[in-house]
């Protein structure tokens, strides 16, 4: 990788971080106020900000001719999973939270998932998007590759 | 709130350090000073907008708007004027940088005029921004941290901790890391500037600005401009009736914002950017569009809330942001934190940007060029880090122990920097402006600025005798006093020196401009329209014509009826001329291609002073003598 390409990767990463930094502050404030006193419009607005930041990240990818890196995907999944767990625990533990925020928060989480799927479908088409989650085929392909590799090794031995 | 505030500030610091390290460890040592002239365009767009808001002084801007209402917030339209100024100067500055194979505006301008005096003036302006101006902002940031932590962290502790953390950002990331951090915080600042009034509108039952109109001190017109000018001796000697922000003060204070755009640091940001498309976008959409609009619309809303939350401060004539922060904390602690982060980011941006730029420019222009020219990349990086350490230590000391002095001396930074306008016009457009003309104008302009601002007035009155005028006599801002005499002296001197022997040197650079960016027949025909439309817009948006805005939309002409808009007529006038300003900037930047850099090869030229026999640049005689005196002891 050349110095320029390396720097371009840093630029892209810094821009993505810039977007998420601002969106994170705004969304957390909106969500916090929404759960405490503001009600569903603030909670929905918080999820809208996160969706907008995701759209911004996709635009950054298009401008820099890149894709989400493995680390970004992993971080996104972990954050989403942590959010789900906290949401589930809060719903179980606090009836007040469940009454105020269950519906808008669950709608927001589903909407985020929908935005993700939509972006994948727009970028790669339905078939490729499905194949990204087709674990059985992925394992099969891996087994085939591994067996083929063993045969090749065996053949060489013979 | 204390723990939360500390966590938020620590988080912002962690993100800044992460960005700086990420960028810095991939830099070659020789690119530490100028980012290899490869800053991304998005960083220029965001950082430019953030630096302008920071240069305006967001907290001071909000408090002054709380005290003077719309008559003061009108000054924000000056950001559109600075976008026009940037369109005029920065494209050609960038071309000059590539042609002269240097990134430093100090080197470009002083080599073009072949003047050590101009070099010293530019270094002085860079240092005024880096020391008292940034020191004032650091002191305000220290106050803010002390307030947010309920005094758990004192002013001095906060100042030194902030200075150390910002030094780490600059020293680890170099110029590139510093700009990326400034860009990231600028985006956060813009987002929070838009978010804060929207949140208040959603969370409060009714905004104070809609319920009781723009805030203002007792006896001050909150929703009108108090005249074209007033025959006042100036602040400190006289009290202007109904407020000091007359149209002449507004146009001059708005005009002084071009000082940020013309400052060496801002020029350095432009010249070190990989520029092709980013400049026009920055000028039109980020500065004239988003930044100006956000300030024009958001400031009166936030300011009215500040006034409503701090009635005792308003009665005493000195409101504070603590009241609003407390009220927001009552609504939601994170909302209060977002408001404080917005102010904090604006202050941090100024400190990181101006100190980093001054540090690397001094290391490159003074140390690397004259004092130790044989330094390699590692040596230059070390020199820059030492310069940064010295500057940050000085800023911290000034902010901790002399915040008032920093505020007084820092108040002239914008006005002094604006005095560089004739030098930039000469560099970019008018080869007939000679070195003598620029230097004469600078001397007159600087004197006038100093004697219409506190540093000169306090010093002169303390040492000699009382002057009959105070700050901004006749309600005319110091930048306008300086520029009027500066331009007059410059033109008069240029009349006699325009055909001097140095003109051929200057024409070399203008030959490059003509070759790289040739004027089409259409562009030549529109030259008059460009200047006249800009002047007409300035006259009505900021100048004496703005007085019409006081009642233009509430009491329409040719009818006795009054229109009920729900908001003051002046606010509508500001928004209308903001739109017109964006349109004008777009026309100049894009259609007239004043900020669009053509895809053409830029020939190399050398306007620097002659080299010695070994090919090294020769240091100015006075500098060589000074070094000889010191080194021979």
pLDDT tens digits, A14-57 = 999 999 999 999 999 999 999 988 889 999 999 999 999 999 99
Nearest residue of chain B to residue A35 (CA atoms): B332
Q: Do A18 and B203 touch (CB under 8 A)?
A: no
- Helix or strand holding residue B119 (H, E): helix B116-128
Cβ–Cβ below 8 Å for A17 and B19: yes
B377 touches chain A (CB under 8 A): no
Residue A146's pLDDT is 67
A14 min Cα distance to partner chain B (Å): 7
- Find all residues with CB under 8 Å of B612, minimum gap 6, and list them: B618
DSSP H or E stretch at residue A97: helix A95-133
The band of A138, judged by pLDDT with boundaries at 50, 70 and 90, is low
Q: pLDDT tens digit string along B369-407? A: 778 878 888 888 999 999 999 999 999 999 999 999 999
Among partner residues A4, A22, A28, which is closest to B191 by beta-carbon distance?
A22
Q: In this complex, which of B23, B187, B202 lies closest to A18 when CB atoms are compared? A: B187
Sort out which chain B residues have CB atoms less than 8 A from A6's CB and list them.
Answer: 26
Q: Return contacts of A69-75, CB within 8 angstroms, 24+ apart.
A: A72/A16
Q: What is the pLDDT of residue A155?
A: 46
Q: Name the pLDDT band for A157 (thresholds 50, 70, 90).
A: very low
- What dihedral do alpha carbons B432, B435, B441, B446 form, nearest 10°? 150
Q: Do B338 and A15 touch (CB under 8 A)?
A: no
Tell whether the torsion through CA atoms of B221, B227, B230 and B235 is positive or negative: positive
What is the DSSP secondary-structure string of A41-70? HHHHHHHHHHHHHHHHHHHHHHHTT----H
Positions of chain B with pLDDT under 50: none
Interchain pair B331, A37: CB under 8 A:
yes
Residue A158 has pLDDT above 50, yes or no: no
A7 to chain B: which residues are within 8 Å by CB?
26, 36, 38
CB contact under 8 A, A21 and B187: yes
CA distance B41 to chain A (A): 10
Predicted-assembly ipTM surpassing the 0.85 threshold: yes
Contact (CB<8Å) B199/A19: no
The model's confidence at residue A148, banded by pLDDT at 50, 70 and 90, is low
pLDDT at site B553: 87
Q: How many CB pairs under 8 A join A and B?
A: 80
> Could you tell me if B377 and B30 are in contact, meaning their C-beta atoms sit under 8 angstroms apart?
yes
Report the chain A residue with the minimal C-alpha distance to residue B41. A11
Interface mutation vs chain A, best among B180, B203, B294, most A CBs within 10 Å: B180
Put simply, the answer to whether A18 touches B183 (Cβ < 8 Å) is: yes
Instruction: Show Cβ contacts of residue B601 under 8 Å, excluding neighbours closer than 6 positions.
Output: none
Candidate from A11, A23, A30 with C-beta closest to B40: A11
Check B195 against A13: CB less than 8 A apart.
no
For residues B397 and B243, is the Cβ–Cβ distance under 8 A?
A: no
From the candidate CATH numbers 3.40.630.30, 3.90.228.20, 1.10.287.3510, 1.20.1730.10, the one assigned to the domain spanning B2-631: 1.20.1730.10
What's residue B576's pLDDT? Answer: 96
Instruction: Tell me, yes or no, if B43 comes closer than 8 A to chain A by beta carbon.
Output: yes
Q: What is the pLDDT of residue A12?
A: 93
CA nearest neighbour of B427 among B520, B513, B494, B527: B513
CB contact under 8 A, A18 and B22: no
Residues of A in contact with B40 (CB under 8 A): 11, 15
User: For residue B166, what pLDDT is reported?
Assistant: 96
- Facing residue for B334 by CB, picked from A7, A21, A32: A32
Q: What pLDDT is attached to residue B230?
A: 84
| Confidence (pLDDT) at A149 | 54
B552 neighbors B533 (Cβ within 8 angstroms): no
Please give the residue of chain A at the shortest CA–CA distance from B188: A22
| pLDDT digit string, tens, across residues A53-101 | 999 999 999 999 888 888 898 999 999 999 999 999 999 998 888 888 8
CA-nearest residue of chain B to A5?
B26
The per-residue pLDDT for A26 is 96
Interface of B with A in 321-360 (CB under 8 A): 331-335, 337-338, 341
CB atoms within 10 A of CB B300: 32
Beta carbons of A3 and B28 less than 8 Å apart:
yes
Give the nearest chain B residue to A63 (CA atoms): B42
Among A residues 31-70, those touching chain B with beta carbons less than 8 Å apart: 32-33, 36-38, 41-42
pLDDT confidence of residue B468 = 86
Do A21 and B335 lie within an 8 Å CB cutoff? no
> What is the rounded CA–CA span in Å between residue B255 and residue B479?
7
Q: What is the per-residue DSSP string for B201-259?
A: HHHSSS-HHHHH-S---TTS-SSS---S------BTT---TT-S--HHHHHHHHHHTHH
């Amino acid at each position: 990788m050349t110095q320029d390409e390396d720097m371009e990767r840093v630029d892209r990463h810094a821009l993505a971080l810039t977007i998420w930094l601002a969106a994170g502050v705004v969304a957390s404030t909106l969500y916090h106020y929404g759960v405490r006193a503001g009600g569903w419009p603030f909670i929905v607005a918080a999820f809208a900000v996160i969706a907008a930041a995701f759209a911004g990240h996709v635009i950054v990818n298009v401008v820099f001719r890149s894709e989400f890196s493995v680390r970004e995907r992993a971080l996104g999944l972990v954050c989403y999973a942590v959010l789900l767990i906290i949401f589930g625990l809060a719903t179980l533990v606090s009836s007040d939270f469940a009454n105020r925020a269950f519906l808008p928060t669950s709608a927001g989480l589903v909407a985020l998932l929908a935005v993700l799927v939509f972006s994948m479908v727009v970028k790669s088409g339905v078939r490729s998007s499905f194949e990204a989650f087709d674990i059985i085929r992925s394992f099969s392909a891996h087994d085939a590759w591994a067996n083929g590799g063993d045969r090749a090794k065996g053949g060489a031995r013979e | 709130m204390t723990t939360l505030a500390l966590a938020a500030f620590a988080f912002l610091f962690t993100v800044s350090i992460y960005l700086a390290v990420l960028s810095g460890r991939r830099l070659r040592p020789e690119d530490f000073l100028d980012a290899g002239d490869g800053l991304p365009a998005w960083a220029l767009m965001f950082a430019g907008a953030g630096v302008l808001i920071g240069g305006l002084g967001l907290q001071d801007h909000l408090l002054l708007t709380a005290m003077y209402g719309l008559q003061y917030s009108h000054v924000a339209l000056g950001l559109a004027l600075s976008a026009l100024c940037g369109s005029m100067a920065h494209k050609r500055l960038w071309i000059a940088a590539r042609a002269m194979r240097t990134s430093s505006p100090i080197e470009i301008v002083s080599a073009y005029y072949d003047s050590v005096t101009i070099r010293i003036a530019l270094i002085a302006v860079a240092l005024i921004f880096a020391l008292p101006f940034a020191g004032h902002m650091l002191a305000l940031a220290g106050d803010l941290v002390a307030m947010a932590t309920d005094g758990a962290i004192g002013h001095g502790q906060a100042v030194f901790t902030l200075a150390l953390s910002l030094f780490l950002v600059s020293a680890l990331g170099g110029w590139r890391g510093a700009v990326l951090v400034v860009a990231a915080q600028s985006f956060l600042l813009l987002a929070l500037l838009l978010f804060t009034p929207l949140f208040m509108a959603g969370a409060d039952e009714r905004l104070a600005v809609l319920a009781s109109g723009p805030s203002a001190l007792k006896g001050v017109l909150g929703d009108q401009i108090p005249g074209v000018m007033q025959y006042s001796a100036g602040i400190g000697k006289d009290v202007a009736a109904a407020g000091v922000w007359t149209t002449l003060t507004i146009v001059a204070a708005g005009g002084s914002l071009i000082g940020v755009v013309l400052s060496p640091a801002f020029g350095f940001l432009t010249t070190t950017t990989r520029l092709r498309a980013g400049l026009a976008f920055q000028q039109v959409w980020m500065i004239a569009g988003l930044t100006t609009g956000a300030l024009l619309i958001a400031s009166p809303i936030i300011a009215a809330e500040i006034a409503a939350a701090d009635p005792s401060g308003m009665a005493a004539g000195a409101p504070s942001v603590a009241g609003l922060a407390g009220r927001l904390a009552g609504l939601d602690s994170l909302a209060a934190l977002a408001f404080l982060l917005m102010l904090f980011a604006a202050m941090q941006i100024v400190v990181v940007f101006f100190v980093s730029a001054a540090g690397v420019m001094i290391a490159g222009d003074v140390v690397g060029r004259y004092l130790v020219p044989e330094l390699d990349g590692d040596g230059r990086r070390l020199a820059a880090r030492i310069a940064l350490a010295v500057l940050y230590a000085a800023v911290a000391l000034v902010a901790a122990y002399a915040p008032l002095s920093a505020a007084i001396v820092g108040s002239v930074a914008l006005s002094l920097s604006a005095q560089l306008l004739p030098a930039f016009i000469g560099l970019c457009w008018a080869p007939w402006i000679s070195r003598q003309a620029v230097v004469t104008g600078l001397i007159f302009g600087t004197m006038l600025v100093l004697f219409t601002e506190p540093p000169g007035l306090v010093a002169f009155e303390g040492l000699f005798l009382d002057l009959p005028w105070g700050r901004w006599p006749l309600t005319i801002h110091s930048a306008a006093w300086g520029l009027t005499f500066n331009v007059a002296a410059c033109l008069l001197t240029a009349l006699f020196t325009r055909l001097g022997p140095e003109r051929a040197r200057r024409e070399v650079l203008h030959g490059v401009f003509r070759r790289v960016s040739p004027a089409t027949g259409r562009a030549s025909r529109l030259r008059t329209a460009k200047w006249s439309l800009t002047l007409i817009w300035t006259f009505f948006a900021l100048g004496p014509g703005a007085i019409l805005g006081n009642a233009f939309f509430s009491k329409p002409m040719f009818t006795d009826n009054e229109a009920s808009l729900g908001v003051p007529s002046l606010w509508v006038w500001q928004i209308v001329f903001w739109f017109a300003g964006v349109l004008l900037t777009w026309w100049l930047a894009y259609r007239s291609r004043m900020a669009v850099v053509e895809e053409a090869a830029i020939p190399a030229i050398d306007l620097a002073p002659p080299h010695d026999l070994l090919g090294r640049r020769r240091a100015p005689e006075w500098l060589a003598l000074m070094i000889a005196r010191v080194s021979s002891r």
